Structure 1
């Protein structure tokens, strides 16, 4: 009996990159995209520019519906999740592994695919879609983190066969928070100052320190102990020229993940009665400049 196909929902900067790398390894993978994007991918393939993986053309198949019983990788932006719920229900997938930012999407996915193995994973990467068929992978890394309970899934096995950098361990909450507590200050600060992380983290050192302390306290009260000094070391270890996707979307006037990142933080803070005035300040400022808060 053949293995279920892996369907990457969202063939953008992250999903397209993962799809190309899986296809290169010989995995049966399809990209699930809107009709016009699917047509272009089927016509031109997906072109990858990457200092880490090299330039290459991936001739993977694109479809407009999730194949029945597929193993699904959800790699859309967080705000696109409501638009794929019905497609997941129809497909009755065997597995769903999410790469969405934030911590609030897992219940939605489990309700949409009640009979599937569903897991929340994270990815650390800087990747941009230059056009519907061209992806620019800019960071010298691509790191995937997966909860221990998902180690035996077919998706994670395929990532390992493809030679990707996969770390397995911890609970799902620990995995999701391990990214959000790092991503949120990076995204909010770069977007607030409209600067790469190197300049943004130094623009107002007191603000940076306060935001990191609030994020660490929220995560700790939500069950994932976090140290602001450790977060500061992680933020300062980033390449100085690195930008966040939230910042890029704001600059482009596009829909953003501000609510999934900053909004989720504030909702957890309120739930646990944790003061977060500096996170609120950044969120209010970014929301007033047209982000979807």
Structure 2
């Protein structure tokens, strides 16, 4: 048995709860891990809200929050290659298994060994946030010297996307609220404050002819406002809003295989990528961690550290 934090029905924060559950049994293509750290993402509260109930198939409630984790392998399915009991790994949980828990199961093909020198909490930010950034920039396939606009640059995915883009020789412009300026500029983005005048006019003041590519992390009206800034509609990709197709763009084609996990980990170990963790919470305070991300005011990435006691406060 292990403690877990999840939700008993689709809805708002009122459906969240702690509960004990038996350790999951890995299927042939899965590994069972003891979780040491779990990343917190907007996807977590969106799934709780029920906007994509089909993600859970026939799994009964309660569901466990979380999709990305680091941990130690306790058992390995018969079809999993390259991973052994005792390895420290990071990867993606199967939908519904969650990662805000003492133990969980990860998809073997979407799990990698954690390299020496990489902190557990940093590794826990890779499977969703860092691979989303890699996938988005790869999909745009822009030449060095091109300009990319990141709509929503100040969050966990946005900051990593800016760094990946800069690593590939791109010029970066990022939009966000006033509080996001310092971090955005720290990763080399030219920042446009969407609360300080017309965002389109302010971007065009920097690039009168528009941008070569656009990564949207916000969706909705914000996406529709900035999409015309891309010179080619096909060079607009979104991780947040499938209606980007109506604008001529595409959803980011997600690829969370072992190669991309290892690629992001190498960038971190080499000091070329920083997840900008701004809050670390023990499992007992998982509701606070999730509320911070759900508020939209997290200045970077939030992580749950399952090795910390309940009395330990969040790192600032």
TM-score by length of structure 2 reads 0.30
1 or 2, which has the higher helix percentage?
1
Q: Per chain length, whose mean CA-contact separation is higher, i.e. which structure has more relative contact order (CA < 8 Å, sep 6+)?
A: 2
1 or 2, which has the higher strand percentage?
2
TM-score by length of structure 1 reads 0.32
